[in-house]
Chains A and B, each alone.
Chain A
Amino acid sequence: MSSATPEPRDQQVATAVKPRPDSVSPLFGSGRPRWGERLVEWLLFLAAFISVVVTMGIVAILLWESSTFFRSVPTLEFLTGRVWAPTFEPPHFGILPLLCGTVVTTGVALLVALPIGSIVAVYMSEYAPFAVREFLKPTLELLSAIPTVVYGYFALVYVGPTLQRLFADIPGANMLSAGMVMGLMIIPYISSLSEDAMRSVPMLLREGAYALGANRLITAFKVVYPAALSGIGSAYILGISRAIGETMIVAIAAGGQPNFTLDPRQPGLTITAYIVQVSMGDLPRGSVGYQSIFAAGLLLFVFTLGFNILGYLLRKRFRESY
């Protein structure tokens, strides 16, 4: 055969493969700049940055709106005053009664949720057979899917009157019932996260304990629990933060009167419930009393911010340790 025949085919292939100048593969040098790719990256970054804008917005709004409040009420009086009476003449703005309400309801909720949540976590992670856990865990998480208004109804209509039958002469709306129901609500927050932390403890540690003759109980509390402590700690902190910020249960069932007391059988008003009360129209808009919700909100934000950052750091540590 002649040697000339393959030549045109070779040429044809060569022209077909010959790269167009504007679409060079990155392997062979930089092609045309891809503006679309850059644009997309920027848009995605902006979406992520919006969360930062929201936080800055929260801080700015709370500071700005409460600044008009602090112009007429001294900060020291706000933080140390024992009387909260925005509608009195002259009005009193001492945050301590509201703080008492928040501390008491949160404390009651934690007394319910921490032991139960921890035991549930240990049970789920160390004891429960696979099938039981697969069924119970999502079912328990439904506890946090119930709207908080409904929990408020439970606390006011069922739990309050039941407590009235147990203790003599306490009001139907009290901080104890609100706190207990709130505790029920935060059990899954505590149990789920604690269980995740405990389950990420390597099996080797458990086997070491079993080899030394420990049973599951000893292994769980002397080996797994301490090893997962930072993760469990972050679960507890999330629970605390939820309880401090919870609004509707305490607004409905805690009684709604500012009360400078640590007795949970008394009615009380929390920071969050106060904000709702004012929003429902107790005070004229623009008045000092109305602006006080921003000051109360600022305090609330500072508290939860502290807990949230602590929780984040703990969570980070527990992720890194294995």
Chain B
Amino acid sequence: MASIPELIVRLKRQDRWFAVLGLACTLVGLVTLLILLAGLIRDGHHRLFDPAFYASFPSARAARAGILSPLVGSILLAFVTILLAVPLGVAAGVYLEEYAPRNIWTTLIEINIANLAGVPSIIFGLLALGALIYGLHLDRSLLVGGITLALLILPIVIVTTREALRAIPQGIREAAYALGATKWQVVRHHLIPYSLGGIATGTIIAMSRALGESAPLMTIGALTFITFLPPPPIRSQPPFVNFQWLNSEFTAMPIQMFNWISRPQAEFSALAATAGVVLILMTLSLNAVAIILRYRLRKRIKW
């Protein structure tokens, strides 16, 4: 049996060792990631600063291939996705947090959203394939891709909306009610404006997820070899806007990258690495914006 001072020394030593182990484990993930990223940049840097890479279509000849159509496709896809998912997700979040009675139906909706958040993305692809393409005979278009991704990120938007609403003190609501506001006025004039920052943070993270997602798009049959751009959404003649682009076939950055990975030639593997760097820059910069936004909100808002 050790004496008490010895025991204290031993216990303290254990603690120091575990702190080192914990830090090491945390860094293992990050360092591995950094090594892999360094490899990606090493393999893909040749074309990274080549303007032609961003201005050319995919091609069977690696030297002339570029990412114009996947880049435009990804941006338009993200646009459609956000336009569908945010209003729907915020409305659902507001309902569940502010309106929903505590009953079995609400619990059911909640379990359902929790489940939906964990459904593999490829299942959403099968849903879109079966319901939208086979069922409604829609084209394999930007619209269908956007709907698929919107359904995929809907749970994220709902959950972040609810968290943002929950952070607003009850007193704000009661003050507004005391002044005679109706429930919807409380929501519209107070709760939504105050939770906008939190909702924006969640939406940006959801968007970065949608940008990197490829499995459901491949399931609905998005093509990998698109050498045209969707028709421009703005025209010079009235009515000035044009929704033809929604029906256009598309490709997206991760799909193009997958296509290049699956080719045996080394030149295409290098192209895949370049596309990977661009893709990571897109998703990481969105995440960085979200982190900064969250940090600034936390500093600014003091209820």
A residues whose Cβ falls under 8 Å from a Cβ of B: 25, 34, 36-37, 40-41, 43-45, 47-52, 54-55, 57-58, 61-62, 64-65, 116, 119-120, 122-124, 127-128, 132, 136, 138-140, 142-143, 145-150, 152-154, 156-158, 184, 187-188, 213-218, 220, 238, 241-242, 244-248, 251-252, 272, 275-276, 279-280, 293-294, 297, 300-301, 304-305, 307-309, 311-312, 315
Q: A143-B29, A245-B119, A248-B258 are in contact. List 13 more A-B contacts (CB 8 A).
A: A40-B184, A51-B112, A55-B112, A65-B130, A116-B28, A123-B26, A127-B15, A127-B19, A143-B30, A146-B284, A154-B39, A213-B11, A305-B115
In-complex Cβ contact of B215 among A132, A188, A248, A304 (8 A): A248
A37 to B205, CA, bound (A): 32
Interface residues on B, range: 35 or more
Residues of A within 8 A of B205 (CB): 145
Closest to A64 in B: B130
A/B interface sample: 19 pairs, CB < 8 A:
A45-B95, A47-B88, A52-B109, A54-B116, A61-B131, A140-B29, A145-B287, A148-B215, A149-B254, A149-B276, A154-B36, A158-B36, A215-B14, A215-B15, A275-B122, A276-B122, A279-B219, A300-B120, A311-B118
Does A280 lie within 8 Å of B218, measured CB to CB? yes
Does A57 lie within 8 Å of B122, measured CB to CB? no
A-B residue pair count with CB separations less than 8 angstroms: 269
Asked if B261 is an interface residue, CB under 8 A from chain A, the answer is yes
In-complex Cβ contact of A153 among B91, B114, B276 (8 A): B276
Does B254 lie within 8 Å of A217, measured CB to CB? no
Does A48 lie within 8 Å of B122, measured CB to CB? no
Does B261 lie within 8 Å of A252, measured CB to CB? yes
A136 to B28, CA, bound (A): 12
In-complex Cβ contact of A143 among B33, B87, B124 (8 A): B33
A149 to B121, CA, bound (A): 13
Residues of B within 8 A of A312 (CB): 111, 114-115
Does A279 lie within 8 Å of B26, measured CB to CB? no
A294 to B123, CA, bound (A): 9
Task: Give, as a whole number of angstroms, the nearest-CB distance from A257 to chain B.
Answer: 15
Decide if the interface of chain A is mainly helix, strand, loop or mixed.
helix
Task: Give, as a whole number of angstroms, the nearest-CB distance from B138 to chain A.
Answer: 14
Please judge, given known A-B contacts A45-B95, A61-B127, A153-B40, whether A55 and B116 are in contact too, CB under 8 Å: yes
Does B15 lie within 8 Å of A217, measured CB to CB? yes
A276 to B222, CA, bound (A): 11
Task: Give, as a whole number of angstroms, the nearest-CB distance from B86 to chain A.
Answer: 11
Residues of A within 8 A of B154 (CB): 50-51, 54
Asked if B1 is an interface residue, CB under 8 A from chain A, the answer is no
Does B120 lie within 8 Å of A304, measured CB to CB? yes
Does B95 lie within 8 Å of A248, measured CB to CB? no
Does A215 lie within 8 Å of B118, measured CB to CB? no
Interface centre among B12, B22, B100, B208 (most CB of A within 10 A): B22
Residues of A within 8 A of B112 (CB): 51-52, 55
Residues of B within 8 A of A251 (CB): 215, 258
8 A-B pairs with least C-beta separation: A123-B22, A245-B120, A147-B212, A47-B91, A61-B130, A44-B95, A247-B215, A215-B11
Asked if B94 is an interface residue, CB under 8 A from chain A, the answer is yes
A49 to B21, CA, bound (A): 46
B189-222 interface with A by 8 A CB criterion: 205, 208-209, 211-215, 218-221
Does B155 lie within 8 Å of A51, measured CB to CB? yes
Does A153 lie within 8 Å of B126, measured CB to CB? no
